[in-house]
Amino acid sequence: MSHLTLQLPETLHRQLIHLAEGEGISVSQYIVYLLTRQVSALTYTVQATPIEEIDQQKQAFEALLNQLGTASPAEFQAVLDQREVVPPEPDLSPEIIAQFQQRLRDAAKG
């Protein structure tokens, strides 16, 4: 474990002592808890995508669809044959997998 020496304003130090005592833990443990919570919140914050970026993604997707539309069935199958096949996630039951496969077949038909 790493060590870090901080110089805190006295009022902040007293507040941290009070809060840590209320939780029944040391000041050091309380500071680690607060820092962990803050870093986690920053790491997993959802941010809105700008409209311009969404428009660019749509245009790129439409261009991809147009390119795929010009591929022959043999070319399309060749690409599919090269894809990586991975096992399903452990939480997926055989019934869920079967339903998903059926939906894919239905979507391909229509």
The residue extents of the domains of the chain are 10-43, 49-83
**Which residues, at least 6 apart from 17, have a Cβ–Cβ distance to it below 8 Å?**
27
pLDDT digits (tens, 9 = 90+) for 18-38: 999 999 999 999 999 999 888
Residue 46's pLDDT is what? 73
User: CA 68, CA 71: separation in Å to the nearest integer?
Assistant: 5
Predicted TM-score (pTM) of the model is: 0.41
